[in-house]
Amino acid sequence: MGKLFLVATPIGNLSDITFRAIETLSGVDLILAEDTRKTGRLLKEVLPPEKMPPPLLSFFEDNEEKRQPEILARLLGGDDIALVTNAGTPAIADPGFRLVRACLEAGVEVVGIPGPNAAVTALSVSGLPTDKFLFLGFLPKKTGKVEKMFQAFTDLVDSPLSPTLVFYESPYRLIKTLKLAKEIFDSQAKVVVCRELTKVHEEKIIGNPKEVLTKLGDKKIKGEVTVVLSLKRK
């Protein structure tokens, strides 16, 4: 019986890939990739030049369920398979958890190859409390749903149970989300907007929602955005 390896890949800087990730990606029989073109380019950069990359098979949200029987059959037949996402740790706000669950139910060993993760990286450099945090993944696209989500935390302002919130947001919706945070939490919240983590144009914008909105101004926001928000005043 084969194993399923969940391999974390860089979120920007290619130097962040681990030796173990390279070794694993070099040795498996198949790599499941959210985007085979992006993963193909990554493999050319990080694998030894003499090493022929394993075959790639597309595996993303819309085909995850359809692919699952084929993947399980290969694992049960003895193939070792790696799962990668476009960037970061697989199955965290990305496809994969259903496959992991199916593998565990079938008795297939699942091995994590740890590495980069945008949410944890943003939290660690934010300067906001890290003893308790809640990862919200990608926020809903509809403002009403985001508002309900934020409202659920208003009773936890300065509470011992108050977690630091970490979430991903589209650069096109970031301003609207920050305005909503300003409206609901006023100056009680502390916010750190992390953009393009580990990349050349990495940027961190810090303050309460109003201050962060002022710093952003009319600037066009581009790239990957992770937001860290604390409801503790101290």
Structural domain total, the chain: 2
Closest CA to 16 of 37, 45, 40, 49: 45
Domain encompassing residue 195: 118-230
Domain stops at, among 81, 113, 145: 113
Phi, psi of 6 (to 5 degrees): -95, 105
- Residue 233: the pLDDT is 65
Q: 234 pLDDT exceeds 70?
A: no
For residue range 176-204, list pLDDT tens digits in order. 999 999 999 887 899 999 999 999 999 99
User: Which whole number is the average pLDDT over 139-143?
Assistant: 93
Please report, for the domain that includes residue 127, its CATH number.
3.30.950.10
Q: Band of the pLDDT at 158, cuts 50, 70, 90? A: confident
Closest CA to 169 of 216, 115, 232, 132: 216
Please report, for the domain that includes residue 23, its CATH number.
3.40.1010.10
152 in the same domain as 64? no
- Residue 186: the pLDDT is 80
11 in the same domain as 62? yes
- Which residue type occupies 30? L
Q: How far is CA 77 from CA 1, 29, 70, 139, 162, in A?
A: 6, 12, 11, 39, 47
Alpha helices in the chain (DSSP H): 19-27, 36-46, 64-76, 97-106, 118-126, 143-151, 174-185, 209-216
123 in the same domain as 105? no
141 in the same domain as 105? no
For residue range 50-72, list pLDDT tens digits in order. 888 999 999 998 999 999 999 99
Q: What span, in angstroms and rounded, lies between the C-alpha atoms of 225 and 178?
A: 12
- The CA-based diameter of the chain, rounded to the nearest angstrom, is 58
Burial class (CB in 10 A: 0-12, 13-18, 19+), 55: exposed
36 in the same domain as 16? yes
103 in the same domain as 124? no
135 in the same domain as 37? no
What's the mean per-residue pLDDT of the chain?
Answer: 94
90 in the same domain as 23? yes
Q: What span, in angstroms and rounded, lies between the C-alpha atoms of 186 and 182?
A: 5
User: Which whole number is the average pLDDT over 90-119?
Assistant: 96
Kindly report the pTM of this predicted structure. 0.91
Residues 6+ apart with CB under 8 A from 155: none
